[in-house]
Structure 1
Amino acid sequence: MTQQQVSATAVTPMVVVRDLRRSFGSGARTVHALRGVSFEVRRGELTALKGKSGSGKTTLMNLVGGLDTPTGGTVELDGTDLTGLDESGRLALRRDRIGFVFQSFGLIPVLTAAENVGVPMRMRGVPAKQREERVRTLLALVGLAEHAGQRPGELSGGQQQRVAVARALANEPALIIADEPTGQLDSETGRSIMRLLRAVVRSEGITALVATHDPELMELADRVVELRDGRIAEAAG
């Protein structure tokens, strides 16, 4: 790759959303969740998406993550048009390029912390030795090296979300999508999770899109995008 190509990649946004629309239902009962949303997520940054309940945040996150398909418009991730992919293509993209962190943690109760972190790599067919080394590295990164053998029920909410962050990083994604990752945590634990996300964006060289309604957590973001009634209200930063 030439120096010119490297420079072009560095300034190209990780996520490009153009005139994105999503409607549910039909006729008089149609609900327009997104009404022509356009914005970008810059490479190597943590972008916070804010908005009241019903503003369309989760719908937008699902579309950016390839979990849903839009009624109209496009989503590009690292130069790939998600809206042009079939289901198998979106599945491969989610597995290889995106890490998800959910409000409810989403851990498998019967597996240990280490086993939960290793699940995405098992699905990708990563060799056992390489997988185990990556799991150790990630649990240390999120401060849970000593809790590798504990199951979710033996961990606090904050610790479970740290495991979820480690799992999201397992396959070295280009983008982390976190939908209200602190919603079930107390304020101090929530701040620690947001600081962790801020730290891993820097240390792992990845990009993050985080939906939150907490003003204190937004202060830790590089940029804030507001969604209001299915439209972008403002972008700051």
Structure 2
Amino acid sequence: MSEPTAEPMVEVRDLVRTYRTGRVEVPALRGASLTVAPAEFVAITGRSGAGKTTLLNLIGGLDAPDGGTVRVGGRDVGALPEDYLLALRRDVIGFVFQSHGLLPVLSAAENVEVPLRLTRTPPAERDERVRVLLGLVGLADHAAQRPHELSGGQRQRVAVARALANRPRLLLADEPTGQLDSETAAALMPLLRAIVASEGVTVVVATHDRTLLGEADRVLHLEDGAITEVPAAAGDAPPVS
């Protein structure tokens, strides 16, 4: 007898999202579908304006679709009341954006600590979690530094640590290397791969950077509002810009 298949961490079916500006309708997603398994690392590529950010926002419950369904951890995101949706974003999903969004008056450790304070994590447990996460992203020696004292790559690593603070099951990263130089960017994706291994987190990342796609278990291409899987051979990858 075969073992039962684990429930998908993310399941998107026939997703439709259209933006309206005055009388003009701009379709972002036209029946997009995808499934992501627990602890899988999936990269989504596609030209600018293809709808990658829209897709991540819908998966993360930051936006609502015009049609189709999004399920995260078996829960229909679109059917959740607002308080449950807030809990989903706080406890189940971590977000990393192109701009790190750190609080400038707080140190690296204090920025990572913010989500733990919001959940009233006991101080000793909070301090230990911050210590572990800064170590994970290679910034144990920079805990007391404020964002302006860190490089762009270091700030983005702090943002990754902060996103992991409450032990999310799903990490959504939207162009996390978009503002980094190529060398710094190349170091971030192996970090995300290490996080999948050490924390068991499912990662869905939108990226333009071809050099980073090799870290993913699968690469999906978003074009004309629909998603296709990219063949494993790098030479078969469609253009991303």
TM range (shorter): over 0.9
Instruction: Give 2:29's match in structure 1, choosing from 26, 34, 45.
Output: 34
Q: Tell me the alpha carbon deviations over residues 90-118 of structure 1, each in whole angstroms, 9 at most, x when there is no partner.
A: 11100000111111011111000000001
In 2, are the aligned partners of 1:116 and 1:167 still within 8 Å (CA)?
yes
3-state SS of 2:215 partner: coil
**Correspondence for 2:56:** 61
| Corresponding residue for residue 223 of structure 1 | 218
Q: CA 1:236 to 1:176, structure 2 compared with 1: closer, same or farther past 3 Å?
A: farther
RMSD: 1.5
Take 1:140 and 1:38, find their aligned partners in 2: how far apart are those partners?
A: 36
Q: Which residue of 2 aligns with 1:184?
A: 179
Tell me the alpha carbon deviations over residues 67-110 of structure 1, each in whole angstroms, 9 at most, x when there is no partner: 11111110000111101012222111000001111110111110
The AA in structure 1 aligned to 2:79 is G
Alignment of 1:126-137 (within 5 A): 126-137=121-132
For the Cα contact (< 8 Å) 2:218–2:229, is it kept in 1? no
Structure 2, unmatched stretches of 5+, are 233-241
Inter-partner Cα distance in structure 2 for 1:144 and 1:40: 33
Q: CA contact under 8 A between 1:42 and 1:207: conserved in structure 2?
A: yes
| TM value normalised by structure 2 | 0.92
Q: Aligned partner of 1:124: which letter?
A: T
Corresponding residue to 2:80 among 73, 79, 85: 85
Letter in 2 for 1:225: L
1:210 aligned counterpart, secondary structure:
strand
Say which SS state the counterpart of residue 153 (structure 2) adopts: helix
Residue deviations 1:164-197 (CA, integer Å, cap 9, x gap): 1111110000000000000000111101011100
Q: Report the count of equivalent residues.
A: 231
**C-alpha separation between the residues in 2 aligned to 1:71 and 1:26?**
15
The correspondence of residues 103-182 of structure 1 with structure 2, limited to 5 A, is: 103-182=98-177
1:128 deviates by: 1.2
Contact 1:54–1:229 (CA under 8 A) maintained in structure 2: no
Percent of aligned positions with the same letter in both sequences?
61
1:25-75 per-position Cα deviation (integer Å, ceiling 9, x unaligned):
278411111101011112111100001001000000100011111111100
Report the Cα distance in structure 2 between the residues aligned to 1:181 and 1:20, rounded to whole angstroms: 24
The residue type equivalent to 2:26 in the other structure is V
Match of 2:66 in 1: 71
Normalised by the length of structure 1, the TM-score is: 0.94
Among 21, 28, 50, the alignment partner of 2:45 is: 50
